[in-house]
Structure 1
Amino acid sequence: MRTFTLRVSLLLLLTTGTAFALDEPGQDLPFLGRYPGSIIDSYKTAHYDEVIIPLGILGQKGFTKSETVEGQVTYIRYKVPEDRSPLEFIRNYQQALQRAGFHVLWQCTDHGCRTPDADVAATLWRGAPTRYTGGAEIFNFENGRMLSAEHRATDGVRTIVFINDNTLFGHSQDASVYAVQTKPMQNGMISSDTGPLTRESMAGALIQQGRFAMHLPFDFKQATLRPDAQPTLTALSQLMEQHPSLRIRLEGHTDQVGSAIYNRKLSLSRALAVKSALIAHGIVEQRIEVTGLGATRPIAGNDTDAGRAQNRRVEVVDLSPGNIARLRPTNTTITPTTTQVPTMNSTPITE
């Protein structure tokens, strides 16, 4: 995804009272400013992806309660002034979010954020440019706070924010801000109606959207791939050979004909069949995750043959963003659709 240099005029520096760096890798959220004196250390935005939003404490196997939210994503990591505590930082953000019409879904403090056997790291967004492998987010439970909040516009669009503020190793304070605005994925970017997908079109879709759909020919109500599926599978295997760091998830989908249990089983079997075909082409098994979603995520109506045919698909999702040389799409921002959301005051609120 595109990052860009934010250059702030002297007039803005003087009028806001906030010390912005002249060459930061990104910008504040349009509806939520920064704590005064903070500097953007890392930034990334994606047009469409999924993020795990914590709604409960961190346990040994991840968060005890969470929600996976899909939509437009922005990640910002701030360096916070060392003379400001996580309490003051989070409380100011909570006040600003509530003034903007958000309500707090969950928050925690220090050791109350975890179980005794919890790890100190978890991955919320694989695409996040954190300092750790796989986009892992570090949670320091000695002096840290977390906050999840939600805004619902009148048209149903949700904007969800998660903030994690830690004092690392007793001195350096980092704050990570994740924001997701729910929106439908842009479909129809690739079609196999005019012929097999090519390696180039697959790469372009992963660059632009992070995923694409394959409408592969299977035997009726079976997970057996027909021979005319091979050109598409060959193209995908060639793409993965060309980019050896690329990891993918295969998501199986069906129409709504049949029971939910049957459809989920069939969708998983078909995704596994694609995985087996890729392995047969020499792709290492560990680079491919598989899931079956049945009829839970239709992209067309199920009341016509054409719509049901569109819903029967295997989607390829990029789990390692950045491994394919990226184009430069126009930067997008997250803005609640129908409500004017104010920014934070430039002066901290103390209690």
Structure 2
Amino acid sequence: MAAKPGFDINSVPVSSVALPPFPYLAYPDKLDDGYKHNTQDSDFDEVQLIAGHDLRTVEGKVSRRFFPHNTIGMSAIGSVKNHENAIKLLGGVLVNDIVPADPEFRKLHPEQDSVLAQKMHLPGISNGGKNYHVYLLRTDKTNIWFVVSIFDDDNLTWLLTVEEKPLQQSVGFIKADAMAASLQTQGHVALYLPFDTDSDVIKAEGKTAVDEIVKLLRADSKLQLNIEGHTDNVGAAAHNKTLSLARAQAVVKAITAQGIDATRLNALGLGAERPLQDNANEAGRAKNRRVELVKR
């Protein structure tokens, strides 16, 4: 069987419709306030959703909401159709050609339901993975994704909105003298360099951290370091290990490009083998996605 082509985001036309405030979709008018449930929203998070026939990772502002549509006499299909009509009026287009519970999809992603649900920000897979709908709304400024899915024996509607946007950096990078102190007392220091998602490309804002590592090495000509790449546990272990090594190598390349002898550096990829915190939530996973300098 021939491989199915990947999803082309440009196949979705750009909408010129004036949009309401984020998260763009309102609860049904008849729904009592006590049934309006908002989980913790995030100004910046990562979500994997289905576009075409496979997962696509998107980053940005995220809203997660759910409500029991049966309390207002609304059926599951009625809820789906209501939300679909509202999204289409804004210019959104249905973009998933497969659902999480489909055997074809599970062959590509055989991990446990709980792991997959965590990546997709869903309450589950087996109990609602057959009624799952992803819509894309493109504007001249960003992409907005909507996920409408049904859970709890077809009685609960789960709404996920992701407005793509870059991270607003709020944490500064550690300076060379602080790195030196940590290496002296602990033998290692963790750095959170910004990379593109699932990529070994260091983002432009990471140059400051690289410059500080170079200052560290120039200040101590005898210092030798292992540059260790670490990931969270989302995705295949082999892929994470390969990615972590590629990121460590990218850091070495950026350092040696400024004249540091490559023999003083050794790149290692450890994947998710040495987490700093629990991978069960995004805060822990963010701490585990790091590059460590380890004194040799």
Query: Which position in structure 2 is the counterpart of 1:100?
Result: 90
**One-letter identity of the residue aligned with 1:115:** P
- 1:145–1:122 CA distance, 2 compared to 1 (3 A): farther
Matches within 5 A, 1:14-25: none
Query: Which position in structure 2 is the counterpart of 1:252?
Result: 247
Describe the SS at the equivalent of 1:252: helix
Tell me how far 1:288 sits from its aligned partner: 6.8
- 1:321 and 2:282 aligned: yes
Query: Which position in structure 2 is the counterpart of 1:137?
Result: 124
Residues 122-169 of structure 1 show CA distances to partners (whole Å, capped at 9, x for unaligned) of 5355595x6xxxxx6334269x521111111113x111111211242x
**One-letter identity of the residue aligned with 1:31:** Y
- The number of residue pairs the alignment matches comes to 201
Point out where structure 1 has 5 or more consecutive residues left out of the alignment.
1-27, 57-63, 131-135, 206-211, 219-225, 237-248, 259-268, 277-283, 290-316, 325-351
Q: Using the alignment, how far apart are the partners of 1:173 and 1:190 within structure 2?
A: 45
Describe the SS at the equivalent of 1:138: coil
Q: Using the alignment, how far apart are the partners of 2:124 and 2:223 within structure 1?
A: 44
Under a length normalisation based on structure 2, what TM-score does the superposition of the two structures give? 0.51
- 1:193–1:42 CA distance, 2 compared to 1 (3 A): same
Tell me how far 1:194 sits from its aligned partner: 5.3
Matches within 5 A, 1:106-255: 106=96, 113-115=101-103, 118=106, 123-126=116-119, 128=121, 137-140=124-127, 145-155=131-141, 157-168=142-153, 173-187=155-169, 189-193=171-175, 195-196=177-178, 215=210, 217=213, 227=223, 252=247, 254=250
Query: Which position in structure 2 is the counterpart of 1:34?
Result: 27
Tell me how far 1:72 sits from its aligned partner: 1.6
Matches within 5 A, 1:61-80: 64-80=53-69
Residues 276-332 of structure 1 show CA distances to partners (whole Å, capped at 9, x for unaligned) of 9xxxxxxx935279xxxxxxxxxxxxxxxxxxxxxxxxxxx97733569xxxxxxxx
Alignment identity in percent? 12
In proportion to residue count, which structure has more helix?
Answer: 2
8 A contact 1:51–1:70 mirrored in 2: yes
Residues 144-200 of structure 1 show CA distances to partners (whole Å, capped at 9, x for unaligned) of 521111111113x111111211242xxx6222222111112224731234533699x
Describe the SS at the equivalent of 1:92: helix
8 A contact 2:134–2:146 mirrored in 1: yes
Tell me how far 1:107 sits from its aligned partner: 6.0
CA-atom RMSD in angstroms: 4.9
Point out where structure 2 has 5 or more consecutive residues left out of the alignment.
1-20, 107-111, 183-188, 193-204, 215-221, 231-242, 255-265, 286-296
- 1:191–1:95 CA distance, 2 compared to 1 (3 A): same
Q: Larger relative contact order (C-alpha < 8 A, sep ≥ 6)?
A: 1
Tell me how far 1:49 sits from its aligned partner: 1.8
**One-letter identity of the residue aligned with 2:88:** Q
8 A contact 1:126–1:320 mirrored in 2: no
Describe the SS at the equivalent of 1:181: strand
Q: Using the alignment, how far apart are the partners of 1:47 and 1:195 within structure 2?
A: 32
